[in-house]
Structure 1
Amino acid sequence: MAEDNFVSYMKEQGSRVNKLLEEVLSDKNVDQNIEKLLGRGGYDYDTDAIEKSVMDPAWYLISQGGKRLRPVFTSLVISLFKKNPDDYIEFSIIPEVLHTATLIHDDIEDRSVKRRNVDCVHIKYGLDIALNLGDFMFYFPMKALIDSSKLENEQKIKIMQLYIEDMLKLGIGQGVDLAWHNFLINPNNISEENYMRMAFDKTGALLGFAAELGAVIGGATDRQIKLLGKFGATVGVVFQIKDDLLNIEKSNVSESKGGVGDDITEGKITLLVTHAIKEADEKDRSRLLEILKSHSSDPKLKEEASNILIKYNSDGYVEKIADSLINDVWNEVDKEFPDSHGKELIKQMVGFVLNRNF
């Protein structure tokens, strides 16, 4: 497969990222890491308490794995500017830690029980610890940025500006998604354009930030930063569309998140659903919305809702949308940057996202 080189690179770079994450988040270096983060004040820290309430649950989730797509993406973008990404690997973990924070909060908001085939953080450690940990992880990785001597102050300020903008987008997108699956808005009034705006904000923000981070480190122009941010956000949206597709069939994605149709139990208004609402007859539309509103975990009801989506070719429709989105923005990136090994791996990453079945 064309994506094999990218997959190998992702595994190799992911292994480096994992080692770095273990250094800063496992219970091996609690004293040292707290001193780096906060310095030494006049009172002693209760490191046992910090270990049990912060480091242990953080490493519990991080150590379950994941594709590490965000740090890999940051590294590849850095390489577009003829810099060695390994020289900046400590920055590549920033979007991964932020992503992990969003997973903790998402699982609470979605009332999820499983994540990566194990108990969610709030199930294993409690709601209070999970909420606090998510908050902590939104801020802690930026410390590496502030303390670094590798970047100019102008670069640090630019990254912080982008971080704030993207986190605001994420919060707004998540808020819209929560309003939808709690049926605070009539689903019949949610357009495809509404969905795309929500998805670019909620799902695209962190991959967009991962690309912007790499671009600023690489020395990109403002125009290039904007283009790569748009590209990253689009990759995020396409990744989400693939997730939604894999969720309505038996796959590693659906099994790791609570079984086939878990999005249906949550009442998620996905692109599949917005298309089906528009195309279905009154009977099927009403039945689909009835099942979504019930938040039922009954496998028969989830299968019935999935079959309605498939009946109106919503799966085929969103596949075409995903292909079109990513190909259009890739053409812009392709024209902007000269051929290189990093660029070829980014192209393969696009194929990986489009063709993945896990």
Structure 2
Amino acid sequence: MTVAGSVEPLLKLTADAMNEVNELILSKAGSDVELIPEISNYLVTAGGKRLRPMLTIASASIFGYRGDDHVKLATAVEFMHTATLLHDDVVDESDMRRSRATARRIWGNQASVLVGDFLLGQAFRLMVDVGSLAALDVLSTAASVIAEGEVWQLSAARSMETTKRDYEAVIRAKTAALFSSAAEVGPIIAGANERERLAFRQYGDALGMAFQLVDDALDYGGSAATLGKNVGDDFREGKVTLPVILAYQGGNDEDRAFWRAAIEQGQNDEAALASAIERLERTSAVEKTVEEARLYGDKARTALSELPAGQWRDALDEVISFCIGRVV
């Protein structure tokens, strides 16, 4: 295993099934309404490793699943994720995603929201087509939880009263819920037992938490190339992420006054961003955030130990190292 980890083993194992997923994405994103496939195709070609649908493929395949329902559910998962990104960018007024202009910047907010709704509808059609009430329950619950997380984050934005517990609840809803459900529906359709299903649910949850913690650390300690967005976007948008919470709690009175002015009052120009990074470094807030991600990585590995040994489990273990190793 490399220090930073890799998704390559999982990419290779899921390659054939993911080709089918990509074909199904293009097919189900089609519409007589020209703007829908135009925006959908723009998003599909934007890149991204499609980690969430790969988890669905892997979590079914590790139990020897044969069929095509895992492809349909993986496609549904990717549609849910893409719809969330479309809606997120509107809420956050983001101009850049995966190193390209966001859909809202090109086509506007209204089109982005409505195409996101279309993709969610297609996701649910695919779930119904699979015919598993248990899988439908898991993914539909995730859709509701993600929306709750969005609203919770909106209400917590620009408030330095946000606690670490509040923050963790938001990212568990916004990010970890889809990782967890993507991993859990595989064993459901593969007929795995409850213990194995729980192990994948816990693996996905912990992986999603680690993934988002590292993302939030990278906003202050990464590069635009790594992030696929501008460094400091969270700061400019007034998002209270764990690095900010830790820097606020670990700083002095002058530091706390700075964070309140920057986050709550919008005093967040480039000079303020430079000052924020200096304060984060002084309080080791980014390093502590990454350490928190590593703890979740350990939880993900503990969950993996309950699953069948072999190349699939090894590849899923590598994904943990990859998610955390992005800051190395």
Work out the CA distance in 2 between the residues paired with 1:269 and 1:317. Answer: 15
Say if 2:92 and 2:237, in contact at 8 Å, map to a contact too: yes
Comparing 128-137 with 75-84, which one deviates more in the overlay?
75-84
- Residue 123 of structure 1 pairs with residue 94 of structure 2: no
Q: How many percent of aligned residue pairs carry the same amino acid?
A: 25
Correspondence for 2:22: 21
Comparing 206-215 with 223-232, which one deviates more in the overlay?
223-232
Comparing 58-67 with 287-296, which one deviates more in the overlay?
287-296
- Residue 282 of structure 1 pairs with residue 253 of structure 2: yes
Q: Which amino acid aligns with 2:326?
A: R
Correspondence for 1:177: 153
Work out the CA distance in 1 between the residues paired with 2:66 and 2:220. Answer: 41
Q: Select 2:141's aligned residue among 131, 145, 165.
A: 165
Correspondence for 2:166: 194
Residue 134 of structure 1, CA deviation: 0.8
Cα deviation code 1:22-62 (max 9, x no counterpart): 55437xx98xx55xxxxxxxxxxxx2xx1x22111011112
Comparing 156-165 with 225-234, which one deviates more in the overlay?
225-234
Cα deviation code 1:175-199 (max 9, x no counterpart): 1111111x3xx423x2222211111
Work out the CA distance in 1 between the residues paired with 2:273 and 2:67. Answer: 44
Change (3 A) 1:15 1:260: farther
Q: Which amino acid aligns with 2:82?
A: T
Say if 1:260 and 1:302, in contact at 8 Å, map to a contact too: no
Work out the CA distance in 2 between the residues paired with 1:119 and 1:62. Answer: 14
Q: Select 1:313's aligned residue among 259, 268, 284.
A: 284
Correspondence for 1:323: 294
Say if 1:171 and 1:202, in contact at 8 Å, map to a contact too: yes
Change (3 A) 1:274 1:174: same
- Residue 146 of structure 1 pairs with residue 119 of structure 2: no
Say if 1:200 and 1:236, in contact at 8 Å, map to a contact too: yes
Which runs of structure 2 are paired with 1:178-257 in the superposition (5 Å)?
178-181=154-157, 183=158, 186-188=159-161, 190-252=162-224, 256-257=228-229
Q: Which runs of 5+ in 1 are unaligned?
A: 35-46
- Residue 136 of structure 1 pairs with residue 109 of structure 2: no
Correspondence for 1:354: 324
Residue 111 of structure 1, CA deviation: 0.6
**Which protein is bigger by CA-based radius of gyration?**
1
Work out the CA distance in 2 between the residues paired with 1:236 and 1:54. Answer: 29
Q: Select 2:78's aligned residue among 87, 93, 96.
A: 96
Say if 1:323 and 1:354, in contact at 8 Å, map to a contact too: yes
Work out the CA distance in 2 between the residues paired with 1:313 and 1:97. Answer: 37
Say if 2:39 and 2:103, in contact at 8 Å, map to a contact too: yes
Work out the CA distance in 2 between the residues paired with 1:86 and 1:7. Answer: 23
Cα deviation code 1:232-252 (max 9, x no counterpart): 122111111111111113424
Say if 2:96 and 2:102, in contact at 8 Å, map to a contact too: yes
Residue 327 of structure 1, CA deviation: 0.3
Q: Which amino acid aligns with 2:160?
A: P
SS in 2 for 1:162: helix
Work out the CA distance in 1 between the residues paired with 2:15 and 2:219. Answer: 25
Correspondence for 1:10: 11
Change (3 A) 1:85 1:310: farther
TM-score of the aligned structures, taking structure 1 as reference length: 0.83
Residue 280 of structure 1, CA deviation: 1.0
Work out the CA distance in 2 between the residues paired with 1:56 and 1:19. Answer: 21
Say if 1:254 and 1:260, in contact at 8 Å, map to a contact too: no
Q: Which amino acid aligns with 1:273?
A: V
Residue 202 of structure 1, CA deviation: 1.1
Work out the CA distance in 2 between the residues paired with 1:228 and 1:268. Answer: 30
What CA RMSD, in Å, does the superposition of the two structures yield over aligned residues?
Answer: 2.5
Q: Which amino acid aligns with 1:214?
A: G
Change (3 A) 1:19 1:240: same
Residue 124 of structure 1, CA deviation: 0.9
Correspondence for 1:341: 311
Comparing 227-236 with 92-101, which one deviates more in the overlay?
227-236
Work out the CA distance in 2 between the residues paired with 1:18 and 1:59. Answer: 16
Correspondence for 1:39: none
